[in-house]
Every structure is written in C-alpha cells, then in structure tokens.
Amino acid sequence: MNIRHILRAGLAGLALAMALPAGAQAEPLRVLGGSPTRALQVPMNRAVVVESDVAFTELSIANPGIADISSLTDRTIYVLGKAPGRTTLTVLGENGRLITNVEVHVTPDIAEFKERLEQILPGEGIEVRTANDGIVLSGVVSSIGKLDRALELAQRYAPDRVSNLMSVGGTQQVMLKVRFSEMQRSVSKSLSASLGARGTALGDDLGLAIGTNALGNAGGLGTALGGSLPAATTGNAATLFGFNAGGVEVGLLLEALENRGVVRTLAEPNLTALSGQEASFLAGGEYPVPISQDGGNISIEYKPFGVELGFVPRVVEGDLINLELKAAVSSIDSANGIVSNGFTVDAFKRRETSTTVEMRDGESFAIAGLLSDDFSDLKGQVPWIGDIPVLGALFRSAEYSRRQTELVIIITPHLVTPTRGETLAMPTDRVRPPSERDLFLFGRIAADRAPQSGGAGEIARQDFSGSYGYVMD
C-alpha cells in the first residue's frame, strides 16, 4: 500500500511540474479547521494542490466538465482546471462527515497571454484581469491599431469572452481639408462664304436664281442685294457685297465667328470628425425632380447638389491617418435638361471621387485628376467647285472648336484639438450692421466699429487693400 501511494504521489508531482510554467511554485490551498483559507483559483489546463489537516475518505466535484480531481494522499488533493467556470469541491471524512466545501474558480490562463502581450505590444499600458470565464482588458494604448491587435490576441485565449475597457490616448480628432480645382477653356472659330446670283432674260419670261449657304434660300438673295443681312445667318461678324450687272444681281456674304471662354470652379470644404466616426457635409441645396407613379400620379423627389463631403478618419498610429472618403461638386445644367409630361427637368453636372488613402498629419494627396481635350474640325463645300483654287473658297465653309478641362482634387488631413471659443474668428466678424445714423446720413452699409480682441479682432486689424483671393496662372 505504501509503494502504491508513493508511485501515485510521484506521478502527480510529475504532472504538476509539467503543468506549471518554468520557475513557478505550486502554493497549495490549506484547509484548516473544516474551512478553506481562500477560494481556489485554478488556471485552465493547469493544476493546483489542496492540503487538508484532516484526513478525508471521499471527494466529489459538482461539475467534472470544469475541473478534474484526484487524491494524492489521504490529506492531499490534485485539482486540474479543464474549462472556464465555477464549481464546488466537496471533501468528506469518516462516516460521510462533511469536512468542507471548496469553491473552485477555473479562469483562462492569462499568464501566457500577458507574456505574449508584452512581446507583441511592448510598452503599452494594458492591464489584464479575469472576470467569470472571460478576460477584461483596461488601460490606455497609443493607437487604434494596437488596440485592435490586443483584442485579436485576447480572442485566441478567450473566444467571444473578451471585455474591452481600453481607451486610446493622444489626439483622435481629424480635420480634413479638400480642394476642388477645375478649369475649363473653350475656343471655336468658323469661316463661311455665301454666293448668290439672280437674273432675268426676255422680260419676265425666263429667270435664273442660284446660291450657296445663306444666300441660297428662298428670298435670301433679293433681301441681301437690298442691303440687309439674310435672316438665316447667326454670325457675329458678317460682310455683305452686292452689285448689278445688267439684268443679273450678284451677292457675296462672308461670315466669320470666333468664341473664347473660360470657366473656373474652386471649392474648399473642411470637416472635422472623431477617429472612427463618419461625418458628412453639404453646402448647396436640393433640386425637385418629378417622378411618375402608378396610376398617373406625380411625386417629387429631391436631389442634392452643391459641395458634398463625407469621410471616416481612423488614426492608425501616432500621426498616421487612414481616410475613407467620398467627395463631390455638382451644379444644375439647364442646357442638357429634358421636357417630360409638361415638366422641365434640368440635368446635373457632377464631379465626384470615392477612395481610401493613408497619410500622415499635414501631408497632402492628389486623389483624383482629369485632363480632357476635345477637338473637332469640320469643313463643308459644294462638290468639285469647292476644290477650285482661290475661287473655291466662295463655295466652302470651315468650323474649328476645341475644349479643354483640367480637374484636380487634393486632400490634407490634420490632427486637431479644441480651443477656446473667443480665439476663433468668423467670416462675419469684420462686418457689423450699420446704425440708422451711418445708413441714412453717411450712406454706409456697414459700421466702422470692429471687434478689438480675440481672433475676431486679429482678423479685423488685417489690411485687405490691394489684390487678394486666388490667382491661377
């Protein structure tokens, strides 16, 4: 019997040595006077020894799925944690006498988790605790990326049982500055010649009328030779020549037109949001669009237009910012509208971008660019006659047009912190409503007095004389 007890004690000691980490010592829970000194904390997949000052004859565990037990001697109990949870160990003496009930708490093995956490995220102030059968993380980390890595590692040790009480330190508010810059240039030129002749012979019995372009339409030749431009022409610059040669009337109309146009669009929306939160911005309006319904009914749907900005910033680490954004500039284009069921619906001219980029505080990124160059060259002439040198110029017309568009969208994120309200200046700070005396006696549309302190005063003291605004070469 003694040899069997020695072998069982030796095997239990070997298993305990394998279960404990290197350098750790098993501190047995002692049962004195019929009650344990404390609740028994057992890490999952590790073992703890319970000693009793009274010899026991029988052991039982309330939930064998949580912990497993075996007796090493009549006074020593070996407890192995199997799954997170709580259960009760009952120790009985002679004649079924109750010695004690020991509360057993099996918790996730956070010792190894702490070691791995320190190796992967050194220097981070993360505190690890156990709660029931889960892991609780608390403390302050330096970035959202490190917070996510800590949570991902904790899930390996306690799947779906991780409570996050951590917070991210540092500046976590991002202001995004977006610049839309667009230039449209257009050039068109046209040159055309019209020749007409009309004559009569043998009185009014025989007549002849020929013409090209504007002078070839009915009645145009007579009107031209009468001294007026033909009604069909739309030229801004036209010269009419006409003469009579006996009974023949000859008219020559030269038309030349040149158009040049420049359209410039510039928008700079700014928007501030907390890291990980979505923010949106619209400066413009909503356009009513009629929608046909079943039964012939008409409903109105409103479409937004103007400067739109929506983004989700994420401070990854330090001043590194991940941006998921959508930006657009739209305007009403009445030239391409349609008429349907008596309703006139204008079209929309829209430039937008949707992307995800990553950059540091204060850096800029050109996230979108467009260079468009449309060119057309048309020539019309009377067949064969228009190919005659010199004289053929009177029987042909030429049109030339070119349209260029340049569009660039640039974004710049900044990490920002709030400030006191009186240090901020508004666009209206320099302009105050006039008093009745200023308005009626002196004709002033704004008061002379301006704020003298704070950010508004600083703006008021600036000199706005001379050239100012944006300059694009």
198 in the same domain as 248: yes
For the entire predicted model, the pTM comes to 0.57
Chain centroid to Cα 460, Å, comes to 35
User: Does residue 5 sit in helix, strand or coil?
Assistant: helix
Tell me the pLDDT band of 357, cut-offs 50, 70 and 90: very high
Long-range contacts of 5-9 (CB under 8 A, 24+ apart): 5/73, 8/72, 9/72, 9/73, 9/76
Q: Which two tokens stand for residue 84?
A: 């997170």
The DSSP-derived string for 287-309 is: EEEEEE-GGG-EEEEEEEEEEEE
Of 107, 139, 154, the domain-final residue: 107
Contact 136, 108 (CB under 8 A): no
* DSSP symbols for 90-142: EEE-GGG-EEEEEEEEEE--HHHHHHHHHHHSTT-EEEEEEETTEEEEEEEES
Please write the tens of the pLDDT for every residue from 213-264. 555 543 444 444 444 444 444 445 666 667 776 666 777 777 777 788 887 7
Please state, as a whole number, how many other Cβ atoms lie within 10 Å of the Cβ of residue 240. 20
* Domain identity same for 134 and 65: no
Structural domains of the chain, count = 4
* Same domain, residue pair 117 and 102: no
CATH number at residue 134: 3.30.1340.30
**114 and 103 housed in the same domain:** no
The position carrying tokens 């431009």 is 229
Contact 160, 141 (CB under 8 A): no
3-state secondary structure of 42: strand
At 81-127, the pLDDT tens digits run 888 888 888 888 888 888 888 888 888 778 888 888 888 888 888 88
Which three-class secondary structure state does DSSP give residue 17? helix
The number of residues making up the chain comes to 473
Do 204 and 254 share a domain, yes or no? yes
**Residue 236's domain spans which residues?**
183-262
